[in-house]
Amino acid sequence: MGDHCCPVVANVPVSARYWHMVLEAPPLACAARAGQFFHLKCPAPPGEPAPFFRRPMSVYQARPDRGRVEFLYKVAGHGTRGMAALRPGDSFDILGPLGRGFTLDLAWRRIIVLARGVGLATLAPLAQDAAQLGVGVTAILSARSPEDVLCREVMAEAGARVLAVTDSEGTSDPDKVAALIRAAVARAGAEAIFTCGSNRLLQLSQALARELGLAGEVALEQQMACGLGMCLCCVRAFRGADGEIEHRRVCWEGPVFPLQEALSW
Amino acid sequence: MGDHCCPVVANVPVSARYWHMVLEAPPLACAARAGQFFHLKCPAPPGEPAPFFRRPMSVYQARPDRGRVEFLYKVAGHGTRGMAALRPGDSFDILGPLGRGFTLDLAWRRIIVLARGVGLATLAPLAQDAAQLGVGVTAILSARSPEDVLCREVMAEAGARVLAVTDSEGTSDPDKVAALIRAAVARAGAEAIFTCGSNRLLQLSQALARELGLAGEVALEQQMACGLGMCLCCVRAFRGADGEIEHRRVCWEGPVFPLQEALSW
Amino acid sequence: MVRPDARPPAPAPEGGSLPDAAAVDLSVQLGPMRLANPIMPASGTFSENLARVMDLDRLGAFVAKSIYATPRKGNPTPRVAETREGMLNSIGLPSKGVAHFVAEHLPAYAGLKPPLVVSLSADTVAEFGPAAAEISVPGVGAIEVNISCPNLEADGRAFAQFPDATYAAMSAVRAATSLPIWAKLTPNVADIAAIAQAAEAAGADALVVANTILAMAIDVETRRPRLGNVMGGYSGPAVKPIMLRMAFQCARAVRIPVIGCGGIVTVEDVAEYLIAGCSAVQVGTQTFLEPGAMPRLIDELARWCAARGIGRVRDLVGTVRLDPDPSHAEWLAS
Amino acid sequence: MVRPDARPPAPAPEGGSLPDAAAVDLSVQLGPMRLANPIMPASGTFSENLARVMDLDRLGAFVAKSIYATPRKGNPTPRVAETREGMLNSIGLPSKGVAHFVAEHLPAYAGLKPPLVVSLSADTVAEFGPAAAEISVPGVGAIEVNISCPNLEADGRAFAQFPDATYAAMSAVRAATSLPIWAKLTPNVADIAAIAQAAEAAGADALVVANTILAMAIDVETRRPRLGNVMGGYSGPAVKPIMLRMAFQCARAVRIPVIGCGGIVTVEDVAEYLIAGCSAVQVGTQTFLEPGAMPRLIDELARWCAARGIGRVRDLVGTVRLDPDPSHAEWLAS
Ligand SMILES: Cc1cc2nc3c(=O)[nH]c(=O)nc-3n(C[C@H](O)[C@H](O)[C@H](O)COP(=O)(O)OP(=O)(O)OC[C@H]3O[C@@H](n4cnc5c(N)ncnc54)[C@H](O)[C@@H]3O)c2cc1C
Ligand SMILES: Cc1cc2nc3c(=O)[nH]c(=O)nc-3n(C[C@H](O)[C@H](O)[C@H](O)COP(=O)(O)OP(=O)(O)OC[C@H]3O[C@@H](n4cnc5c(N)ncnc54)[C@H](O)[C@@H]3O)c2cc1C
Ligand SMILES: Cc1cc2nc3c(=O)[nH]c(=O)nc-3n(C[C@H](O)[C@H](O)[C@H](O)COP(=O)(O)O)c2cc1C
Ligand SMILES: Cc1cc2nc3c(=O)[nH]c(=O)nc-3n(C[C@H](O)[C@H](O)[C@H](O)COP(=O)(O)O)c2cc1C
Ligand code: FES
Ligand code: FES
């Protein structure tokens, strides 16, 4: 762990709003686990100063065999605009891997991964790990429209059962997604659910997990300064063991937390 | 007058420490006079932030016929490092022409220009103007060593009598330079002396001009923020008409001042 | 110029079409004065020389370099130093006196539309009144009282570092002139709201928040201070978050208008000061780097408002939302 | 990192050969303490977690995040915002209390060489004494008294905004412990030297100059403050010229050592604080951007000294040259 300047191998748009970056980083590729993140020193976008803080980004793919670390990202603002300006051969200063990743119970028959947008970037490596370890995966991928569905191929290649739901087709509302989850549990024997990012998906996952007795985890986001548990800026609220509300650091105790302990917001 | 983004045509080192930059700037090339300066928004040198202030730089050549403005500069620090990083085709934001240039009396038979280092950049266009207007020029070019002598060709081409004096050859000390000046006055009929920058050359020129009854001007340097006479940071001390010491702005009342009014420092 | 944290504009108001930038009403009210727009120069960073690069009639107002009643010299050079995102200056308020200003500079503003604001400094409270009376001549639209300059009766500390000295200096000026008077505050204080209230109580028509922050830099090779005067005033983008906080505090502490000043570069910076509660803003250091900064900001402000369906710039003033964000409710409750 | 105004080193001392970086004596004296080098973290920007990226034994000292005697929650999110050359924070000093610190954090420092400095806050003067006594346990090398936190008896203003509250808080700590005590001052004052003198009079062994500057930023699209707590503390390169000025003023006003803090990024920044009169420095925000900043600065400081023929870092302290520059003589005379 530490900060490393890695050469950019590829950095290309994969849809209107999402980009895919591949870095050469052999030692990091071995160290990074699903759910962990890197803290990126984004360069100055053309005509703008460089952003002051680093930017957190999930490990999308870390392939020890190819010595590469990959990110899937949305160009959201100042920092990600700078990221998108990087060209192959440029060097990118990334700090990590950081944080606590997902935990998989090898006794599970099947898990559900439920995500929307770049949340998929966080869950894709979990699906791959599960499939490789013999745990079945049902991936519910939510998006605005069919063109926006990310990671369909990656998930399918890993052996996941892929269910895409979209706003434009009217298949993404909570009731319909709940029905898919119930079916995955009842018919395919899913025993845990993993989600990330959005408040809506968290609430839905918590409710169904409680109802259906599923285990599960959630990967949360919060603005970060240090990424190393020192500054206390990245806290979120959790229900502690004693029922008290407590603050935990997304960068240090997380970004992955027990599903039922995270408070929705 | 105003700030203009001009394309860089050429930017090359001309010796170990000096660079020559050519910009395409047709309207400015017509407007700029010998002794005036531009205020340059130097870009960030590689690996450093951009300097905060603009940097003043004399018009070295402004050729209306070719629509070009040229600078001859020493890489001294942060800003000039940034200048040296500009490549042909890059755009360079320059504000000017600014300040008050040299005044030539067409009745003079001959003038002496005396300068050292990049001071020559300031005096070269004066020599050219003089030669073109039928005033003879004796150019005394001082430098550390013969390789360091700048503008020898430009001066010679313009028709100046060029005398190079150098530290390494032991020809540049005040006594020897004074002898050259006396000779130019006595034998070639020089009636005015122009100098710039260094305190030593100023003192020498003032003393000889007083002794020999020469007219003359000096171009001074001082750190600048606005370049437009507003901030009052670029002042130097002068002996006013009433004998009182007063402060004048190098960017606004100068950078060229009557030789005997400037106080050495 | 793109600001690091620039965001896309909010969506257009439902059902309405966006106003044209040319149709945006940029005028603002500053106590008794109406300005065509909220953009004006900061004292000491402007002179009529700027006419060489811009149409002076476009500005909301002119603010001249601070003058003293009687002539005085400035500080030793170097008078400025640059830092990463700002500059230090110790010009030291050289001045040729009020009479010289009236004779030599005032005529340059005759016939121009924006009001001329004269910035006035003095060494002691007693000197402020007569100087204010002397400068209250036709052609002067308001007096900005630079109480952030050193008070020789208080060991060189600024009038505006103390509520009582602020009150005394502003009262002296108030008694001596019927022109609108603005108090220019110093940020080198623990509690700027208390100073703002003292200026208001003494009859100030507006506050300018604020002058430069006392700072220092050393050349590590020569081990000399980078300014001839050892310490100097810090300005430019680096100071903006501090000045914005102070402008916000003042705007909430007084009923008179506040003019924000410090670090303005982008149109978002202007909007930020207005939203924080300022009725107008002053632009200083950026003019040194970009002489056309003020006209650019005026154009951009009209476009910025138009793109957001804001028809009148003055409707932005003080609209900062301090209600708890719903997403913070958990914290506020706990 | 190259600093904008970096200059080439001065020529080597006549006749002597340059010392090797490894031979430079980096140690400094801080009142009763001797530190192996002058580089230490700033409170709130460090924890034992940093062991994941560096060898903690290399630091001059450890300074922990401020703790209160009893547990308390922090501020609402967002707790940080970035600016052009700095950051704002309103973390709000969440703390699990002294007992939790002793049980959970202290053990991590056992066996490490640099002294551990505990930063202590309190809501009232009365709370400081007992808390200082409670934290005076083996393993703690000094107490940094964070008197820049809000004093609930003074309407939330900081102890260090007033000489009398400074004196009272530091005296309470002095009476309760025999450990070295440092006073961490706030820059949100008009006259920091007066505060420095009050802390010295109360028995402080050193001063830390200074904490963050109160500042603000507003999101112009949502019109909400960028910090959940509306205002927060400004740190990073942008504040350095202000902090350096205050450190210089304090160093000249007291006899106890001053520790400079604010905006350090480069080795020249470290040298600047030392030359201004600081015996050591604290590095904060830069560690967030570059976790290895402190060990880098230690290495660079040794090389920087070596290249200039400086054999002992402590010989730099307070060597700023305030004698008039010959080139300024004309001004000083006139
Ligand atoms: C652990 C973790 C993993 C993440 N993984 C991914 C990923 O794989 N792909 C992806 O596209 N995005 C991911 N994000 C979100 C990503 O960090 C933000 O989109 C990014 O920081 C936005 O920066 P910006 O400068 O473009 O936007 P700006 O809006 O300019 O950012 C301003 C500030 O807000 C912060 N910020 C803005 N949005 C977020 C956010 N959603 N989460 C945290 N901080 C934010 C920025 O870091 C910065 O400090 C992740 C966030 C976290 C915390
Ligand atoms: C009217 C005028 C004309 C000039 N013409 C030329 C020229 O034709 N060729 C040339 O090489 N140089 C010329 N100079 C000097 C040139 O401006 C400086 O070399 C340059 O500013 C150094 O900047 P830097 O960032 O590289 O150095 P740094 O040392 O990093 O500069 C730090 C600060 O000091 C200022 N500064 C440093 N040296 C000088 C100086 N000698 N004069 C004024 N300000 C200075 C810089 O502008 C900057 O604000 C001229 C100066 C003036 C005033
Ligand atoms: C070179 C310079 C000279 C200044 N002179 C004055 C002055 O004479 N009177 C005054 O009230 N403020 C003076 N100021 C302060 C500015 O008016 C303004 O308050 C400050 O620079 C902050 O604004 P900015 O960050 O936009 O520059 C001066 C500032 C600079 C940089
Ligand atoms: C996120 C953050 C948290 C901080 N927490 C504390 C704290 O708990 N106690 C304290 O005395 N100072 C605290 N500070 C102030 C720093 O110790 C330091 O004084 C300040 O950041 C200036 O140094 P810098 O510019 O190097 O960051 C904090 C600063 C930051 C940025
Ligand atoms: S980002 Fe600093 S504690 Fe999490
Ligand atoms: S540089 Fe501003 S007055 Fe000359």
Q: Give the closest residue to A218 by CA, choosing from A240, A250, A190, A191.
A: A250
Question: Binning pLDDT at 50, 70 and 90, where does residue D1 land?
Answer: very low
Residue D248: which of C216, C222, C240 has the nearest Cβ? C216
Nearest CA residue ID for atom 47, ligand 2: B55
Residue C301 domain-assigned (yes or no): yes
Cα of A83 from ligand 1 centre, angstroms: 12
**Mean pLDDT, 10 residues at a time, chain B of 265 residues:** 86 91 87 95 91 97 88 96 97 96 95 92 94 94 88 88 93 94 94 92 95 97 97 95 91 97 90
The neighbouring-strand residues paired with A116 are A142
Q: Report pLDDT digits (tens) over D17-29.
A: 677 999 999 999 9
* pLDDT over 70 (residue C15): no
Q: Identify all chain C residues contacting B231, using CB atoms and an 8 Å cutoff.
A: 44-45, 80, 89, 91, 288
For chain A, what is the radius of gyration of the CA atoms?
A: 18
Predicted confidence at residue C259, as pLDDT, reads: 98
Distance B224 CA to ligand 2 centre (A): 9
Q: Return the pLDDT at C332.
A: 35
Instruction: Point out the ligand 3 atom lying closest to the alpha carbon of residue C236.
Output: 25
User: Which of the four pLDDT bands, split at 50, 70 and 90, describes residue C44?
Assistant: very high
Phi-psi region of C158 (alpha: psi -120 to 50; beta: other; left: phi over 0): beta
Cα–ligand 3 centroid distance for B262 (angstroms):
29
In a domain, D12, yes or no: no
Structural domains in chain A, CATH included, are 2-98 (2.40.30.10), 110-219 (3.40.50.80)
How buried is residue D24: exposed, middle or buried, by Cβ count under 10 Å (0-12/13-18/19+)? buried
Least confident of C103-117, C162-176, D315-329: D315-329
Distances B257 to B218, C90, C169 between C-alpha atoms, Å: 5, 25, 41
* Partner residue facing C245 (CB), from D85, D216, D276: D216
What number is the average pLDDT over the span C73-89? 94
Identify whether D3 is part of a domain: no
Whether D66 is in a domain gets the answer yes
Which tens digit of pLDDT belongs to each residue from A94-112? 999 999 999 999 999 999 9
Task: Supply the pTM of this predicted model.
Answer: 0.95
| Cβ contact B245–D5 (<8 Å) | no
Contacts of D228 in chain C (CB under 8 A): 325, 328, 331
pLDDT at D3: 44
Q: Do C320 and D225 lie within an 8 Å CB cutoff?
A: yes
For residue D161, give how far its alpha carbon lies from the nearest alpha carbon of chain C (Å). Answer: 7
Whether D328 has a pLDDT exceeding 80, the answer reads: no
Q: Would you state the pLDDT for residue D4?
A: 42
Answer yes or no: is the C-beta of A226 below 6 A from any ligand 5 atom: yes
Indicate whether A29 pLDDT > 80.
no
Residue to probe by mutation, ligand 6, list B95, B221, B249, most atoms within 8 Å of CB: B249
**What count of other Cβ atoms lies within 10 Å of the Cβ of residue A239?**
14
Rounded distance between C-alpha atoms, residue A84 and residue A75, angstroms: 7
Phi and psi based region of residue D247 (left: phi greater than 0; alpha: psi -120 to 50; beta: remaining): alpha
Range of the domain at D152: 21-73+93-218+234-333
C-alpha dihedral, B7 to B12 to B16 to B17, nearest 10°: -10
How close is the Cα of D88 to the center of ligand 4, in Å? 10
Pocket of ligand 3 contains residue C36 by CB under 6 Å: no
Q: Which atom of ligand 3 is nearest to the CA of C237?
A: 25
* Chain A hits for D80, Cβ within 8 Å: 53, 223, 225, 231, 233
User: In one letter, which amino acid is D168?
Assistant: A
Q: In chain A, which residue's Cα lies nearest the Cα of D284? A: A231
Atom of ligand 5 nearest to the CA of A234: 4
- Give me B137's structure tokens: 């020029």
Summarised one tens digit per residue, pLDDT across range A116-133 is 988 989 999 999 999 999
Instruction: Give strand pairing partners of B114.
Output: B140, B195
Domain assignment of residue D188, yes or no: yes
Nearest listed ligand to the Cα of residue D232: 4
Whether D4 is covered by a domain: the verdict is no
Residues from chain D contacting residue A223 (CB–CB below 8 Å) = 77-80
Contact criterion met (CB below 8 Å) for A11 and A195 = no
For residue B58, how far is its CA from the centre of ligand 2 (angstroms)? 10
Nearest to B35 by CA among B220, B162, B163: B220
Q: Which residues of A touch D44 (CB under 8 A)?
A: 230-232
Q: Minimal CA–CA distance to B172: which of B147, B194, B146, B142?
A: B142
Residues 6+ away with beta carbon under 8 Å from A107: none
Measured between CA atoms, the residue of chain C closest to residue A44 is: C4
What angle, rounded to 10 degrees, do the helices at A174-186 and A199-212 form? 40
pLDDT of A147 strictly over 90: no
Kindly report the number of other CB atoms within 10 A of residue A100's CB atom: 17
CB pairs under 8 A between C and D: 169
Answer for the pair B224, B56: CB distance below 8 angstroms, yes or no. yes
The pLDDT of D7-23, averaged and rounded, is 64
In a domain, D140, yes or no: yes
Of D2, D327, D331, the CB nearest to B48: D2
Contact call for B223 and C78, based on CB within 8 A: yes
Structure confidence at residue D248 (pLDDT): 97
Can C149 be counted among the known catalytic residues?
A: yes
Is residue C69 very low, low, confident or very high in pLDDT (cuts 50, 70, 90)? confident
Nearest to C76 among D219, D220, D332 (CB): D332
CB C243 within 8 A of CB C272: no
**Minimum-distance CB partner of D288 among A223, A231, A247:** A231
Q: How many domains does chain D have?
A: 1
Residues of A whose CB is below 8 A from C2: 47-48
Cβ-defined contact of B237 to D331 (cutoff 8 Å): yes
Pocket of ligand 6 (CB under 6 A): B 224-227, 229-234, 249, 251-252
Specify the amino acid at residue D101.
F
Query: Nearest residue CA, atom 3 of ligand 3?
Result: C44
Is residue A197 scored above 80 in pLDDT? no
From the list D105, D89, D95, D88, the residue with the least C-alpha distance to D74 is: D95
Q: Mean per-residue pLDDT for C266-278?
A: 98
Per-residue pLDDT tens digits for A228-242: 999 999 999 999 888
Q: Which of C82, C104, C239 to mutate: most B Cβ within 10 Å?
A: C82
Q: Structure tokens of D180?
A: 């070295």
Pocket test for ligand 4, best of D83, D211, D227 (most atoms within 8 A of CB): D211
pLDDT digits (tens, 9 = 90+) for D210-258: 999 999 999 999 999 999 999 999 999 999 999 999 999 999 999 999 9
**Confidence band (pLDDT; 50, 70, 90) for C311?**
very high
Does residue D13 surpass a pLDDT of 70?
no
User: Residue D165 is part of a domain; what is its CATH number?
Assistant: 3.20.20.70
The residue type at B105:
D
Over range C51-73, report the average pLDDT: 93
Cis peptide before D78 (omega within 30 of 0): yes
Over residues D264-290, the mean pLDDT reads: 98
Residues of B with CB under 8 A from a CB of D: 47-49, 51-52, 77-78, 237, 245, 263, 265
CB pairs under 8 A between B and D: 19
From chain D, pick out residues whose CB is under 8 angstroms from the CB of B265. 327, 330
Question: Can you tell me the mean pLDDT for C187-204?
Answer: 97
Q: Is C228 inside any structural domain?
A: no
Chain D residues with CB within 8 Å of chain B CB: 2, 4-7, 327, 330-331, 334
Query: What's the gap in Å between the CA of D2 and the closest CA on chain A?
Result: 16
Query: pLDDT digits over D258-275, tens only?
Result: 999 999 999 999 999 999
Alpha helices in A26-134 (DSSP H): 26-31, 78-84, 119-132
Closest ligand (CA of C119) = 3
pLDDT band with cut points at 50, 70 and 90 for residue C6: very low
What is the model's pLDDT at position D327? 44
Mean pLDDT for C172-199 is: 97
pLDDT in tens, A56-75: 999 998 888 889 999 999 99
Predicted confidence band at C334 (pLDDT cuts at 50, 70, 90)?
very low
